[in-house]
Amino acid sequence: MMILNFHGVRGSHPVADREMMKYGGGTVCVEIVKTNKNGIKVPIIIDGGSGLIKYGYSLAKSLFAGEYSKTFPLLFTHIHPDHLEGFNFFLPVYFGFCTLHIMGMESPQWDTDVMLRNRMTAPVFPIEYRDLKSRRIYRSLVDGTVVYIDQNGEPQDKTGDPLFEIRVMQAFTSSHPQQGALYFRINDPEDGSSIACIWDIESHPGGDVRVINFAKGADVMIHDTQYTEEEYADDEMPVQGFGHSTYTMAVENAKKAEVKNLIAFHYNPRHNDHFLDKIKRKHSRHSFGFYMSYEGLSLTLDKGKLAKNSDLNLKFAK
């Protein structure tokens, strides 16, 4: 059984607006959690947008109480600012008892690890990366990589009793400029459930063959939905080539991949709650389950069946 929690759902940049309180204004951060054999919650975190900040603060009491893993596999799809900006303020990076396994794409210029270091270099930030108390281990990921997360939250190439299996697909500049992005399929070895994480991708009308094959039969697909069809076709404000998909592209990929549930994600920062509510009504009837993600949305995936939990009540714990 995997718990899927959304801590940030916006793309491009954070927004603070009273008309965007329902879906939230924090940038992308998704958490997938399982409980290990010792009753400890072990997370995988995908992307470190501003949604990572409040999530980190909310962990404090659970970390000190020993209820939550002190080891964090942190996957980055790519190194654009809306996927990194929460890292500097993620509370566990300042705790000496925490270990972060940072995993991201190789780059001809800067790997993810180098980018995080550069964002915490004087005079840009008051605390340097090298002075953080946590233990940080970097691993680069490429197309076809398979990583297992063991009962303690440690990444392994092979393990006899994994909590998670992570499969990696890499797409290049045509999908998300300038250097492409990584997409992840998170599998539960215990019950066979799977979550395909497909955002920061510019798909194709009629579907993206690689995405369809990668996500085939997944129980959940979280897909980039930054634009409407009208925005994508607008000749006054061209967005084709910006590296993002429309709602129709997401639906086409979900249908052809035969996924059970599609979750819209990575929202345009100009789309307010009223606008997103209209989109939700438009896509309420499909052959698969359709969800609009929002900050605090929590879902349980158990043996292929998806169910909504009570909303998360994340607080800046003292």
Express each pLDDT in 118-168 by its tens digit.
899 888 899 999 999 999 999 999 999 999 999 999 999 988 899 999 999
For residue 104, give the DSSP letter. E
- Judge whether residue 317 has pLDDT over 60: no
Exposure of 284 in the CB half-sphere (CA atoms within 13 A): 7
Express each pLDDT in 201-228 by its tens digit.
988 888 999 999 999 999 999 999 999 9
Confidence of residue 312 (pLDDT cuts 50, 70, 90): very high
Express each pLDDT in 177-204 by its tens digit.
666 799 999 999 999 999 999 999 988 8
pLDDT (0 to 100) of residue 182: 94
Confidence of residue 36 (pLDDT cuts 50, 70, 90): very high
Name the pTM for this structure: 0.94
Percent of the chain scored above 90 by pLDDT?
A: 75
54-80 average pLDDT score: 94
Burial environment of residue 11 by CB neighbours within 10 A (0 to 12, 13 to 18, 19 or more): buried
CATH fourth-level superfamily of 2-308: Ribonuclease Z/Hydroxyacylglutathione hydrolase-like (3.60.15.10)
- Judge whether residue 286 has pLDDT over 90: no
C-alpha pair distances (Å), 105 with each of 95, 182, 201 = 26, 7, 15
How far is 46 from 131, CA to CA, in rounded Å? 24
Better pLDDT: 296 or 316: 296
Spans of all domains in the chain: 2-308
- For the chain, the 3-state helix, strand and coil shares in percent, each to the nearest 5, are 20, 30, 50
pLDDT (0 to 100) of residue 178: 61
How far is 32 from 73, CA to CA, in rounded Å? 10
pLDDT (0 to 100) of residue 174: 59
Considering only 77-91, 132-146, 162-176, which range has the smallest mean pLDDT? 162-176
What backbone phi and psi angles, to 5 degrees, belong to 115?
-65, -40
Express each pLDDT in 94-127 by its tens digit.
999 999 999 998 776 667 888 899 899 888 899 9
C-alpha pair distances (Å), 118 with each of 9, 74, 107, 125, 128 = 25, 18, 15, 9, 9
Residue 171 CA, chain-centre distance (Å), reads 16
